Structure 1
Amino acid sequence: MTALRPELPALMVEEQVKAALLEDLGRAGDITTLSTIGPDRTAAANMSVREAGVVAGLELARTAFRLIDPSIRFEALAADGDRVAPGTTVARISGRARGLLSAERVALNFLMHLSGIATYTATFADEIAHTGAKVCCTRKTIPGLRALEKYAVRLGGGSNHRYGLDDAVLIKDNHIAVSGGVAGAVRAARAYCGHLVKVEVEVDGLAQLREALTASPDVVLLDNMGPELLSEAVAINAAHWGLSVASYPGDLRRTRLEASGNVQIETIRAIAETGVDYISTSKITMAAPTLDIGLDVSI
């Protein structure tokens, strides 16, 4: 079944855009535009991409213009998640020139940043599309923009890891060091959390993996393991659950495996081909370049 495209709640969009506009307008508003453009002047503009990419953030751009001047017309010519070629016009804007110019930067900032993340994610997702693995983002996001950045990741064909500390358990090496053991930490988490909360535990070796599997976590994070070790981990997991190579991928009983640690575009294919289910990397949010998008005004 094809998944529906993600959407952002209108209230969330408005809150984010309003904060960005207030930051930009400061204490006196757009004094450049107010001092040079008369209140009755009108203008039109095309918002176009200058390089190939995946569009993300059009509704935030629309909201920026609307909040500055509700009479401005914003016509989207693409949809979030579309793959576009260089030169593609993704939106046309028209109305009073003051509002158009004052909202321009905030609209483009959101659109360029989120489209950059979606585009960069797509390069990783495309590299492993022939496998069953999914590339996932992490909690390494710009403070205040996590929901938007995770939205962009999904538009690029990636998957979201947990959104925060409260929606899933991820027992990492420091938790294990303090609590005293892998399996014990998993069982403690199970006892503490409700049945709807997923429990994942990080391991840094195959011995820890075997110990973790005795407590049946939902996911095991395999930290900084190369393809050879990852392949061994997949075999150990299959053997633990009594599964054959053929039945392993689709069996819903088994523990899922996630690879993480120094994932690069050059290495993600080899990682995915080991049979892991997920590959998490902060690069798709923290290292994504912005997508070059311009707004050209005509009178």
Structure 2
Amino acid sequence: MITSEIEVFLREDTGDFDVFHSLLPDEIIRARIIAKEDGILAGLEEAVRIFGYCGISPSRKRVDGDKITGGDVIIDIEGSSRAILQNERVALNILGRMSGIATLTRACVDMVKHTGARIACTRKTTPGFRRFEKKAVMLGGGDPHRFNLADAIMIKDNHIRIYGMDEAYKVAKDVSFVKKIEIEVENAGDAVRAAKLGADIIMFDNMDVRSIKDAVSVLDAEKLRDSVMLESSGGISTDNLVEYAETGVDVISLGMITHSARWLDFSLNVQVTCK
């Protein structure tokens, strides 16, 4: 987390001038941040940096990626009451948001562990908060996928409708020899076509389990399966995740682990005022 991001987050919460806290006497206090439920910890580094920006040096009791239970102490803090209370909500929000994503990601990773399929996120992230959400996915054991459009080339359905698969691939291939090319398909025939063109990755987009199994079988029969990585995306939730993982794909990308993760609950409790 860089200083400019901290300043944006804090300014959003404090507004132009925090009248109430500015009028209260500034005491030296001890406080701690406590987990109120079980999950995977993420956002600890960011919370510590937020307090550090205001001259407070928290003591970390856990590390990002830890499995935590309700009641665990995450951070001990001592310092200015004004600074601690002004930064409390931003720190708790980041902890809650990132830990919620990490927790859901870990649950999905564990569900498909027996298949060898990798869980990845997507670009369905909160504007301005993408790198924190993708970091949380990684702390939960998931793959960040593309961070942005520059990381890899994905030929999607709209590209194919406008330009055709062959022409879109030709343009993509001319971009750079180091860029991986992924092609989105909706049926077995297009999967074979994409593999023969030379796609590095084929994404089965919004295809049902039976259709994906059929496509994998066709690629096997054509001796194309080992030349490409297979990804499934669209319409996948925890209810059907295992079924999709058992189709034989290498990666399952899930928008819901970032856009629908439930926040984990944390609280900051003042322990004592130091006179």
- Residues 1:65 and 2:48 are matched in the alignment: no
Aligned-partner SS, 1:102: helix
Give the structure 1 partner of residue 147 of structure 2: 163
Give the structure 1 partner of residue 14 of structure 2: 25
Label 1:207 to 1:242 Cα distance change in 2 as closer, same or farther (>3 A): closer
Give the structure 2 partner of residue 116 of structure 1: 100
Q: Which runs of 5+ in 2 are unaligned?
A: none
Output the CA distance in 2 between the equivalents of 1:294 and 1:50: 7
Output the CA distance in 2 between the equivalents of 1:216 and 1:26: 53
Output the CA distance in 2 between the equivalents of 1:294 and 1:13: 24
Give the structure 2 partner of residue 236 of structure 1: 218
Q: Deviations over 1:30-62 (max 9, x none)?
A: 3222222x13x1111111111110111111111
Label 1:234 to 1:93 Cα distance change in 2 as closer, same or farther (>3 A): same
Give the structure 1 partner of residue 203 of structure 2: 221
Per the TM alignment, residue 242 of structure 1 is displaced from its structure 2 partner at its CA by 5.9
Output the CA distance in 2 between the equivalents of 1:275 and 1:132: 9
Q: Deviations over 1:83-134 (max 9, x none)?
A: 1111111111111211111111111111111111111111111110111111
Q: Report which stretch shifted further, 12-21 or 160-169.
A: 12-21
Give the structure 2 partner of residue 281 of structure 1: 254
CA contact 2:184–2:202 (8 Å) conserved in 1: yes
CA contact 1:13–1:59 (8 Å) conserved in 2: no
Which of 257, 267, 276 is the aligned partner of 2:230? 257
Output the CA distance in 2 between the equivalents of 1:242 and 1:93: 57
Residue pairs, 1:67-86, within 5 angstroms: 67-68=53-54, 70=55, 72-86=56-70
Output the CA distance in 2 between the equivalents of 1:90 and 1:189: 47
- Residues 1:294 and 2:267 are matched in the alignment: yes
- Paired residues in the alignment total 272
CA contact 1:237–1:255 (8 Å) conserved in 2: no
Which of 104, 122, 127 is the aligned partner of 1:143? 127
CA contact 2:195–2:224 (8 Å) conserved in 1: no
Q: Which AA in structure 2 matches 1:43? A: I
Give the structure 2 partner of residue 210 of structure 1: 192
Which of 103, 106, 128 is the aligned partner of 2:112? 128
CA contact 2:181–2:199 (8 Å) conserved in 1: yes
TM-score, with structure 1 as normaliser: 0.87
Per the TM alignment, residue 187 of structure 1 is displaced from its structure 2 partner at its CA by 2.7
CA contact 1:13–1:60 (8 Å) conserved in 2: no
Output the CA distance in 2 between the equivalents of 1:18 and 1:239: 57
CA contact 2:202–2:228 (8 Å) conserved in 1: yes
Which of 156, 161, 166 is the aligned partner of 1:183? 166
Output the CA distance in 1 between the equivalents of 2:4 and 2:223: 47
Per the TM alignment, residue 288 of structure 1 is displaced from its structure 2 partner at its CA by 0.4
Aligned-partner SS, 1:265: coil
Output the CA distance in 2 between the equivalents of 1:13 and 1:111: 17
Give the structure 2 partner of residue 199 of structure 1: 181
Output the CA distance in 1 between the equivalents of 2:185 and 2:59: 50
Q: Deviations over 1:154-203 (max 9, x none)?
A: 111111111111111111110001002x2332232112x21110100101
Runs of 4+ in 1 over 6 A off after TM superposition: none
RMSD of equivalent CA atoms: 1.4
- Residues 1:42 and 2:28 are matched in the alignment: yes
Output the CA distance in 2 between the equivalents of 1:228 and 1:164: 31
CA contact 2:192–2:224 (8 Å) conserved in 1: no
Output the CA distance in 2 between the equivalents of 1:57 and 1:99: 19
CA contact 1:213–1:240 (8 Å) conserved in 2: no
Per the TM alignment, residue 241 of structure 1 is displaced from its structure 2 partner at its CA by 3.1
Output the CA distance in 2 between the equivalents of 1:141 and 1:103: 24
